[in-house]
Amino acid sequence: MNDTRPRSAVLAGIGHWLPPTVMTNEELAVRVAVTAEWLRSRTGIAGRHVADAGMATSDLAVEAGRRAMESAAAGEAAPDARNRIDTVVVATTTPDRITPATAPEVATRLGLTGAAAFDLAAACSGFLYGLAVADGLVAAGTAQRVLVVGAETLTSIVDPTDPATSAIFADGAGAAVVRAGRPHEPGAIRRVVLGSDGAGSDWIAVPGGGARHPVPGAHGSGQQRYLKLAGPEVFRNAVRRMTAAAREALARAGWEPADVDRVIAHQANVHILLAVRRKLGIPPERMAANIQHVGNTSAASIPVLLAQDAAEGRIKPGDRLLLAAFGAGFTWAATTLVWPELPGTARALR
Amino acid sequence: MPMPAAVLCGLGSSLPKRVVPNSRLVEENGLATDSEWILRRTGIAARHMADPRTSTGDLATAAGRAALDSARNLAGSPLVPDILLLATTTPDHRCPATAPEVAHRMGLEAVPALDVNAACAGFLYALTLAKGLVTAGLYTHPLVIGAETYTTALVDPHDRDTAILFGDGAGAILLRPGTASQPGALLAEDLGTDGSRTGLVRVPAGGSRTPFGSPGTTRKDFYLVMNGKAVYAQAVRRITASALAALDRTRWSADDVEAFVSHQANQRIIDDVAGRLGVPAARCHGNLRHVGNTAAASIPLALADAAERNLVRPGARTLLGGFGAGLAWGAHTLHFPEARPLTRSPHHADHQGAAP
């Protein structure tokens, strides 16, 4: 609507990758001492993809990144050096190492050595935060083409014996290529609504392993290394913040909820998604979901869902999309875009 | 028409109270070296070290507040940040990011807040993102903080190769929209990485590649390890090339540079880079001797130090350069800011965070 910027980031390619191993509720039930039915009814999740031993976040990020780059390349008449990606953002809560960042390794493995590359931490909102900073870099003319990856191996920080968290959190990666373009063309990322509330920093957290309770001390071992979740506080804040951010993003676009063809919300859990959908007044068939088969993959959640929906034809060129996320921090984010023609999208299905 | 630019308008710092000179570091940790050798090899005489209760977030909050005080003094009225970017390798927790808690403790309700990790180049990366957001008109007053607690979080106190190098601290800057001719205006930058050399500086375990509790890991695997010789060679090469690229984009030659503020890792690296660029020693500014390598906090701390000591005139043509694990590197050109830097002591959080 009132976006008068000369340039903005425009979606040029999308891809995702999930590790092939699927952990069913039956398999998980053996480990966590509850029934498969309890897991299904409590979480609405039937199965989730999990990384094999030795598989790290960069391995997933590289696969998703490659697919997004192939998707972007398919939209070009011929390979063109000017279309080389100059910046790589990896949004993750589970980097390969405490240092260095994961993005430089991902860039090198994608043939992009020399590119600017960094990790971004904003938990489940990380991918949309990544799109926002990519939009800034592109609009400012600092970058021409940015690969934004959301990648997680949450199983590396989840207590394998805790039914609540190990039923929900899973592994995966999704990625988008954005290029410099015009704010009103299809695929343009509208100004991303971003926010945070550090008063909620304790409610989704890994207590140990950071500067507050460093690994070399006593806190690196035992339960301190696992992700903790305070359900009721998270639920209340997630619904409130995601709904408000989504409404603000709609207002920026000049859209009503009825104008939205598809909502791509962070797949946090089925109850949060249902509450957000009802509050926004979105009909069930317009609410995208893959949580039943993918679980909550944090920063990977939104690009994985986008790539799957696009590949399977549930998102079509011209569709008006609303993207919204909420996560640890607390952080939240939302934006809108009109889905562009992406000739390479079917490749992303592979 | 004047060229719009993001302008550095506030400068803050925070250092832990405890100063540890080389002699005490050697003695306390039984390091097989001596005070003189450390100074000669690195240019470091002392460093500030956080006590176990002082975290990255504590230092970041204090530096952030100091930067806002500095900006208010210059502007004559308070400036409120509308996004917070925290560059750190040592966040308070593995999850969530530290930036939201820092924003909350600073009283910045609901502002966007994110952590950026590009190791010792992190501040230059976060600065680039913030500059982009201002130039694009998306935000007006990003607060960019570099904060680290390497000595408590990552460094093995008994490893001579790393223990002598690192210190703790935080530096912060506030940006505002302005024009390219003003003191503090950010002009051009260059960023790059080489992920084929991740092994040169790294913490072997504790991430998703080798998670906590992986069989065969010992306590040592959770400390920083560094191939000093290879890092030295790469640092000199990469900072020099990146600085030349940034200078080229600014249409400056090395002769034009009135102030060079490098990442403070090792005096011999800084001298070598300056020599290759042809920047005279008198134009190189740093505080390595007193603070050691503070990773992502290093450049804003060195900028604040140079400003505090009135070593550089506001508006002077200034070059920043940095390098770190990743490998990741970067360089920026700017007009030296006129903001008077302020410093604050770190305060502990009301609670220790996420301790069940």
Q: How far apart are CA B296 and CA B249, in angstroms?
A: 24
A2 included as an active-site residue: no
Tally Cβ neighbours within 10 Å of residue A290: 18
- A198 token code pair: 């550090």
Among partner residues A58, A197, A209, which is closest to B94 by beta-carbon distance? Answer: A209
Query: Which residues of chain A have a CB within 8 Å of the CB of B326?
Result: 100-101, 103-104, 117
Mean pLDDT, residues B284-296: 98
E strand or H helix at B245 = helix B228-250
Question: Average pLDDT of chain B?
Answer: 95
Q: How far apart are CA A263 and CA A282, in angstroms?
A: 8
DSSP state for residue B106 in the 8-state scheme: T
Q: How far apart are CA A25 and CA B274, in angstroms?
A: 61
Percent above pLDDT 70 for chain A: 94
E strand or H helix at A137 = helix A126-139
Q: Which strands sit side by side in the sheet containing B328-335, from one edge to the other?
A: B186-193, B328-335, B317-324, B259-262
B52 has a chain A CB within 8 A of its CB = yes
Give me the pLDDT at residue A218, please.
Answer: 45
Cis, peptide link before residue B211, omega less than 30° from 0: no
pLDDT at B262 over 50: yes
Indicate which CATH number applies to the domain containing A190. 3.40.47.10
pLDDT at B210 over 60: yes
Amino acid letter, B273? V
Q: Which of A260-264, B325-329, B345-349 has the lowest mean pLDDT?
A: B345-349
B319 has a chain A CB within 8 A of its CB = no
Give me the pLDDT at residue B356, please.
Answer: 32
Give me the pLDDT at residue A2, please.
Answer: 53
Give me the pLDDT at residue A219, please.
Answer: 45
Give me the pLDDT at residue A4, please.
Answer: 67
* Band of residue A208 on the pLDDT scale cut at 50, 70, 90: confident
Give me the pLDDT at residue A101, please.
Answer: 98
B22 included as an active-site residue: no
* Band of residue B354 on the pLDDT scale cut at 50, 70, 90: very low
Domain boundaries of chain B, sorted by first residue: 1-356
Q: What does pTM read for this prediction?
A: 0.96
pLDDT at A156 over 70: yes
Among partner residues A101, A137, A153, which is closest to B129 by beta-carbon distance? Answer: A137
Q: pLDDT (tens digit, 9 = 90+) per residue, B28-60?
A: 999 999 999 999 999 999 999 999 899 999 999
* Band of residue A42 on the pLDDT scale cut at 50, 70, 90: confident
Query: Which residues of chain B have a CB within 8 Å of the CB of A228?
Result: 354, 356
Q: How far apart are CA A311 and CA A288, in angstroms?
A: 13
Half-sphere exposure of A35 (CA within 13 A, CB side): 3
Q: pLDDT (tens digit, 9 = 90+) per residue, B211-239?
A: 888 888 888 899 999 999 999 999 999 99
Query: Which residues of chain A have a CB within 8 Å of the CB of B131?
Result: 140, 142
Q: Are B106 and A110 in contact (CB under 8 A)?
A: no
Instruction: Give the class (CATH, top level) of B1-356.
Output: alpha beta
Q: B113-117 and B83-87: which strand pairing?
A: parallel
ipTM: 0.96
What would the 3-class secondary structure string for A71-116 be? HHHHCCCCCCHHHCCCEEEEECCCCCCCCCCCHHHHHHHCCCCCCE
How many helices (H) and strands (E) chain B has is answered by 11, 14
Q: Which of B56, B58, B90, B94 to mutate to test the interface with A (most CBs of A within 10 A)?
A: B94
Percent above pLDDT 90 for chain A: 83
A331: Cβ–Cβ under 8 A, 6 or more apart, which residues? A122, A123, A124, A125, A126, A129, A194, A195, A196, A325, B96, B97, B100, B112, B113, B114
Catalytic residue among A16, A49, A124, A269: A124
Amino acid letter, A339? W
DSSP state for residue A25 in the 8-state scheme: H
B113 has a chain A CB within 8 A of its CB = yes
Domain tally for chain A? Answer: 1
B293 included as an active-site residue: yes
Q: pLDDT (tens digit, 9 = 90+) per residue, B132-170?
A: 999 999 999 999 999 999 999 999 999 999 999 999 999
Query: What's the alpha-carbon Rg for chain A, to the nearest Å?
Result: 19
Half-sphere exposure of B128 (CA within 13 A, CB side): 32
Mean pLDDT, residues A1-11: 78
Give me the pLDDT at residue B355, please.
Answer: 39
Could you tell me which chain B residue has the CA closest to the CA of A98? B207
Q: B83-87 and B142-148: which strand pairing?
A: parallel
Q: With an 8 Å Cβ cutoff, are A120 and B115 in contact?
A: yes
Q: How many residues does chain B have?
A: 356
CB proximity under 8 Å: B 206-235 to A: 206-213, 219, 222-224
Q: With an 8 Å Cβ cutoff, are A96 and B55 in contact?
A: no
* Band of residue A132 on the pLDDT scale cut at 50, 70, 90: very high
* Band of residue A279 on the pLDDT scale cut at 50, 70, 90: very high
Give me the pLDDT at residue B350, please.
Answer: 58
